[in-house]
Each structure stands twice: as structure tokens, then as C-alpha cells.
Amino acid sequence: MKPSKEKFTITYKGKTIELPVYHGRQGPDVVDIARLYKETGLFTYDPGYRSTASCKSRITFIDGDKGILEYYGYPIDQLARNGNFMETCYLLLHGELPTSVQYEEFNEDIMKHSMLHEQIVKFYSGFRRDAHPMAVLVGVFGALSSFYHEHMNIDDPVFRNRATVRMLAKMPTIAAMAYRYTLGWTFVDPRGDMSYAGNFLRMCFLNPMYEYEEDEVLSRAMDRIFILHADHEQNASTSTVRLASSSRANPYACVAAGVVSLWGPAHGGANEAALNMLKEIGTVDRIPHFIERAKDKNDPFRLMGFGHRVYKNYDPRAKVMQQTAHEVLKHKGIDDPLLEVAMELERVALSDDYFIERKLYPNVDFYSGITLRAMGFPSSMFTVMFAIARTVGWVAQWREGITDPDQSIGRPRQIYLGPTMRDYVPMSERG
């Protein structure tokens, strides 16, 4: 990355300095402020990192104004319509789509590592049966670090590759067990001769009393949902993984930190919140009331599944997701009134000045809940599915960060607003 001819000049307290400006391959130019504090004594203040590039990356490109999302240059809709999740994982990890030989080897490697150590399985019995599956996922995935720490050497590509394969392979097994645990069902071991998505659905839904018959349409829909959620550049959970790993911590624990960040309703938890909102709205005639609430500054209510920090246009994932919702519902012969509510809500919002002016469009989570519900999942599992898909993104970004010579421990500063220095007062003298 070479500095461009343009410079960013800043004058503060009579001193002028020039800061380098970089051009990315695409996207906005970036001012390098690394020297700013040393040369001017100034920090920058950017809560929520609205104007901050926290790292260099080659993996995912988003143009939020145009509604573009690409993994290593491949548009998301092409990958979702024509590719599959395993080749998308390979792409995100290696930068190129695999040849058929590379694909077979990679797929086999992942499926081979999808079993869990018997001791890990024992963790589940410590959780309450009514625990949220995301809480179980955080705990059990974090616990993998206790099994794979002894030979940890993140500078060793062999360790990194092994950790990569294990994390991708075990996440669906852990997630499916979290689901079955809440239902009191026996756990189902993974199958190496099924697709990643098909195997996950089997581990969730198999009834041991009957033969399991794979539903190809649902497996394909699941696979597509995984592709759509696989990576999204420096979102909150990915930044969490990068920040946690900047201290060179155990990668399994870092990915567990990503799961935590994903859980919130402003991020991955929005799919669960969006479906709950559609249920609350219930019927089309109640939409105007909820639109008014979303616009009311004194009401904390927001349209869940609407708006995005980066997309100021239709989220390209939402288009594919909407189509997938229709396909799954049609296939299952379900006439879900919530789909009608969602489509009418979208129509009303997109013709309302409040949403137009703020460029608020449906995001990927708006239609994913309806789809996952039609597939048979309870809403508490929606974010878990997002976590399975995003694991590859977290891992790819962890690998990129850890091998970036510019990476150093993430250590933001602050604007201090607390008291200035004062002397300790013994308790007996405090009024």
C-alpha cells in the first residue's frame, strides 16, 4: 500500500503537519493518523468508528451507497445463487475459489473434524435447559480453547490451519447440540458424507426413531443463508475477534468473543428481534401504528431488520434472502401471514419520507427469520445460525490480522471526563 500524492494537512496550535493518504483498491481514501498524537498531542474521537479504518484487508468489499458486497471480488448474489458454502469458505480463507481437487480435500478435512471430544459433550449438562442457545454456544465454543491450547503457536501456519479447520468443523455440531439440549433430545453425531448445511439440519432435526431423509431444497436454502452471512468486513463481532486476537490470545477464545458480540439485537440478534417484531405487529392493518412508533423519537422502538451502518441502499443480501424466503415457504406449502406483514411493512416504509431521507432499507435479517421459522427453527436459534455462518469470516479475518506485519495490540484511547486527582478520604471521615 503506497501513499498517494495527496496529503492531509492539519494545523493545530500553530503547528502544521502533513499526513499520508492511501487509496484502497476500491472505497474511500484513508488518512493515516498514526503519527498524529506524537506530532500534535491530539487524539481523534470517533465513537462507533464511523470514520475509522481499523485495519487493511483483502477479504470483503462493501460499497454501502451502491449496495455492493463482494468476497475477494465475487459479488454475493453470484456466490449465493451459483456457489456453495464450502467453496465460499475456501475462498474467504485462501483468496481464490478452489479447484475440484482442492474443494474435495478441504470439504473432507472439515467434515472429518466435526465430531466433538466426549468431554466437551459433558459441558452441556451444566447448562439450564431453558438457557438461550447463544449462551450455550459462547460457553461451549469458548471451552474448545481448553482442549486446544497446549500446542498453541499462532505464528505456525500448521497450527493456524488446524485451528481453522476445527473451528469451522465443530461450530455446527456445537450449535445443533445447543438446540437439542433445550428440547431434551439426545445428541446426534455428525455425518461426513453429507453437505455442511445438510449435515447441520440432520443434526438438528433427526428423530432417532425414524430414518432421516434429507430435504434438498432446505439444505440448499440453509447453505445459501450461510453464504450470505459468511463475512461482512469489520462489523462489531469481527472487530471484536480482531481486537481480542491482537493480544495474541487463543483463537478459539477469540471466536467465542465474536459470538458474544454477534448476540446483540443491533447486530446478529436482529433476525430474532425482527421476527418477534413481525409477530407483535401480527396483521397488515397494524403496520401504520408501528411505522409511527419507529419514527417517534420518544419511543425506543425501531423497525428491526431495517437500516444498516454501512448500507445506505438495499442490502444486497436481503434481495437473495427475500427470494429464499419465498422458495422455502412455497416448498413447504406454508402460507405464513408474517411474510405478508413483512412485505407490506417493507412497501410502506420504503415509501415513507422518514425512511427515504435516512436511507433505511431492509437488511439481511428482515427476511431470514421468516425463512428459518419455515424451516422449523425457533427464533432463539436464528442468531446461532448466523454464528455458524460467520465463523469462517471471523477465522479468515483472524488469520489475516495475525499475519499482518502492521498488526499491534489494539489499544484505543479516550476523552477523560472524570474527576481530576484527589486524595483518599478514610471511610470514617466520609460524611
- Does the annotation mark 155 as catalytic? no
Tell me the per-residue interface mask from 197 to 236 with ligand CMC, x by CB under 6 A, - otherwise.
-----------------------------------x--x-
| Residue found under cell 499491534 | 408
If one asks whether residue 360 binds ligand CMC (CB under 6 A), the answer comes out as yes
Report, in Å, the least distance between residue 340 CB and ligand CMC: 20
Instruction: Point out which span in 18-26, 160-168, 360-368, 369-377 binds ligand CMC (CB under 6 A).
Output: 360-368
Site for ligand CMC contains 319 (CB under 6 A): no
Among 169, 278, 294, 387, binds ligand CMC (CB under 6 A): 294
312 is an interface residue for ligand CMC by CB under 6 A: no
The interface region with ligand CMC, picked from 76-84, 108-116, 169-177, 300-308 by CB under 6 A, is 300-308
- Pick the catalytic residue from 231, 267, 308, 315: 308
Judge residue 420's burial from the number of C-beta atoms within 10 Å of its C-beta, 0-12 exposed, 13-18 middle, 19 or more buried. exposed
364 near ligand CMC (CB under 6 A)? yes
By the rule CB under 6 A, 244 interacts with ligand CMC: no
- DSSP category for residue 99: P
Q: Which is nearer to ligand CMC, 307 or 316 (CB)?
A: 307
Nearest to ligand CMC by Cβ — which residue?
A: 307
Among 221, 281, 304, 395, binds ligand CMC (CB under 6 A): 304
Residue number with CB closer to ligand CMC (222 or 364): 364
- 365 catalytic per annotation: yes
Determine, following the binding rule CB under 6 A, whether residue 240 of this chain makes contact with ligand CMC. no
Binding-site member from 303, 321, 325, 375 for ligand CMC (CB under 6 A): 303
Dihedral sign, Cα of residue 174, residue 178, residue 179, residue 185: positive
Long-range contacts of 78-85 (CB under 8 A, 24+ apart): 79/227, 80/224, 80/227, 80/228, 80/317, 80/320, 81/224, 81/320, 83/227, 84/195, 84/223, 84/227, 85/195, 85/196, 85/197, 85/223, 85/226, 85/227, 85/230, 85/389
Query: Hey, is 61 helix, strand or coil?
Result: strand
Radius of gyration in angstroms for the set of CA atoms belonging to the chain, rounded to a whole number? 23
Q: Which is nearer to ligand CMC, 137 or 154 (CB)?
A: 137
Nearest approach in angstroms of CB 287 to ligand CMC is 13
Pairing of strands 3-12, 15-22: antiparallel
Give the bridge partners for 19, in sequence order: 8
- Kindly name the residue from 223, 231, 315, 365 that is annotated as catalytic: 365
Give the three cell numbers for residue 336: 405464513
Whichever of 120 and 370 has its CB closer to ligand CMC, that residue is: 370
Give residue 186's Cα distance to chain centre: 29
Which residues, including other chains, have CB under 8 Å from residue 253's CB and lie 6 or more apart? 142, 145, 244
**Least gap, CB of 342 to ligand CMC (angstroms):** 13
User: Is there a contact between 303 and 333 (Cβ–Cβ < 8 Å)?
Assistant: no
Which residues make Cβ contacts (< 8 Å) with residue 223, sequence separation at least 6? 84, 85, 195, 196, 197, 198
Any idea which residue has 441502499 for its cell? 313
In whole angstroms, how close is the CB of 76 to ligand CMC at the nearest point? Answer: 12
Q: If binding means CB under 6 A, how many residues of this protein chain bind ligand CMC?
A: 20
Tell whether residue 268 is a contact of ligand CMC (CB under 6 A): yes
Q: Examine residue 266 and tell whether it contacts ligand CMC (CB under 6 A).
A: yes
Q: 401 and 247 in contact (C-beta within 8 Å)?
A: no
Residues labelled as active-site residues = 308, 365
Interface residue list for ligand CMC (CB under 6 A): 232, 235, 266-268, 270, 294, 302-309, 358, 360, 363-365
